[in-house]
Structure 1
């Protein structure tokens, strides 16, 4: 199956990270075998090693060879073409105000990655107004130049070997419910005919590579008209997340 993009609404929160750690909540579009993996990632997250702080920012990442020689976050290497002059909608821009943990009111950002039907470029589009931030040129990629074979929604963290794994989402587990956990909703994919359609529950697969006390995922299907297909995710991290 071929996809030409995806969209989601992502809740944003304040969490604290150290240099060397990162924690992101995003959409991935991918194609190709592991050593030739073409991947684009876009969403929101924290990356103190790049920005020197723990502020929530608009993030993007790409690779054309499974991170062997190509790829980077935001503008750390050539690739992404920024077209929107508004600094609020630039890769790396601080996103605010974020949501207080423990409230039903959520600060959210709508994020879409969409391949242009005519140029083949992959666009980063945000908010209800469909603001075009910029694009990753088709020429960066081999397998993604004709579309994606896999769409992923969720969170990702990293810490070096001498450091605990950082929090993800709100830093609370999804079992604590919507008021306390990170969430993503309005999950859509852009199909082979460039139609934007809601994901089907039967086609969603849960995946986690960490101890469930560190991070977890809770997906129970349709959540009503406000968030439609949605899930809760995240957790506090810790020292034994890969066990």
Structure 2
């Protein structure tokens, strides 16, 4: 995907939309304000979601296989904590909204936060009928 954000440059964002088609029951992934279809998941692989979902989540993961030196590990985070420079960490965020069967945005309950590395943290805010999750932290971090 491009363009890419940089902490010293402009901030870019993409929006993604996952929904279940009312007619065929398949789940679709769309991107951008023009809702370009990126792909779909057949309803047959989501038997438990035949009638919609009651839970949704988002986040990120950095993983490396085998033993590597910390300097070789993949980097996650903007280099700053989200509560220090929110205007520069917001390129590492998730705007999370939930829609109903008619694709109307619905109010969601509070979010559950989870991290297995306390070097990274998240700041959750409620705005525009959405949950914003800003995440980041220093790099490199030993994971």
With normalisation by structure 1, the TM-score equals 0.49
> Could you tell me which residue of structure 2 aligns to residue 96 of structure 1?
2
Q: Deviations over 1:79-105 (max 9, x none)?
A: xxxxxxxxxxxxxxxx111112145x4
CA shift for structure 1 position 111: 0.4
The answer to whether the Cα contact below 8 Å between 2:97 and 2:130 also exists between their aligned partners in 1 is no
Aligned partners of 2:38 and 2:21: how far apart in 1?
A: 14
The answer to whether the Cα contact below 8 Å between 1:167 and 1:234 also exists between their aligned partners in 2 is no
Aligned partners of 1:102 and 1:173: how far apart in 2?
A: 15
Q: Alpha carbons of 1:198 and 1:234: their partners in 2 closer, same or farther (altered >3 Å)? A: farther
Larger RCO (alpha carbons 8 Å, 6+ apart): 1
The answer to whether the Cα contact below 8 Å between 2:25 and 2:50 also exists between their aligned partners in 1 is yes
Q: Deviations over 1:128-180 (max 9, x none)?
A: 11212221111222212332231112222222351345322434321332233
Name the SS of the counterpart of 1:149 in structure 2. Answer: coil
Please tell me the root mean square deviation across aligned C-alpha atoms, in Å: 2.4
With normalisation by structure 2, the TM-score equals 0.78
> Could you tell me which residue of structure 2 aligns to residue 188 of structure 1?
97
CA shift for structure 1 position 118: 0.9
Runs of 5+ unmatched residues, structure 1: 1-94
> Could you tell me which residue of structure 1 aligns to residue 132 of structure 2?
230
More strand by share: 1
May I ask how many residue pairs the two structures share in their alignment? Answer: 137
Q: What does 1:45-84 align with in structure 2 at a 5 Å threshold?
A: none
The answer to whether the Cα contact below 8 Å between 1:114 and 1:123 also exists between their aligned partners in 2 is yes
CA shift for structure 1 position 207: 1.8
CA shift for structure 1 position 230: 1.7
Name the SS of the counterpart of 2:117 in structure 1. Answer: coil
